[in-house]
Amino acid sequence: MESNEQRVFEVVRSKVLDVLDVSAELITPETSLVDLGANSIDRAEVAITSMEELGLKIPRSEFAGVSNLEALVKLFCFHLGEGEAG
């Protein structure tokens, strides 16, 4: 993972720990929130609180294809990049 992705991943990891009772080592890029026992509200909470910390606003529809944490991190990084370009 690139350093920017690593930083975003750490944000997501900390939000997962806030929302779910799981040990930190289980939270890897390959894991999905469903694998970690998250329900739909938990998943939305991880996404929204991560966006808040990263200063992002991403439409709900863009999360449709996200199947694991790596994809979530890439989505966030894509929008962070857009922000920098703009």
Partner 1 sequence: MSGPRVVVTGIGTVNSVARNASEFAGSLRDGRCGIAPLDYSEEAPVRAAAQVGDFEWPAHKGLKNAPRSARLSAAATAEAIEQSGLGSSGGDRERIGLLVAGSNLHQELVVDGVTQFIEEPAWLNPRYALTFLDTFQVGLLTEMFAIHGPSFTVGGASASGNVALIQAFHSIRSGLLGACVVVGASADITPVELQALATIGAASPGSSRPFDASRDGFVWGQGSGAVVLETEDSARRRDAHVLAELSGGAIFMDGNHLTDSSRAGEARSMTKTLDVSGLVAANVEYLNAHATASRMGDETECAAIRDVFEGSLDTLFVNSTKSLIGHCLSAAGVIEAIACILQMEGGFLHPNLGLDDPIDDALRFTGARAEEVPVRTAMSNGFGFGGFNTSIILKASPVE
Q: Which residues bind partner 1 (CB under 8 A)?
A: 18-21, 41, 44-45, 48-49, 51-52, 57
Cα 23 from Cα 82, distance rounded (Å): 33
Give me the half-sphere count of Cα atoms (radius 13 Å) on the Cβ side of residue 68.
8
- Least distance in angstroms from the C-beta of 11 to partner 1: 14
Q: Which residue number, 2 or 59, has a Cβ lying nearer to partner 1?
A: 59
**Residues in Cβ contact with 84 at an 8 Å cutoff, skipping those fewer than 6 apart:** none
- Least distance in angstroms from the C-beta of 62 to partner 1: 13
- Least distance in angstroms from the C-beta of 56 to partner 1: 9
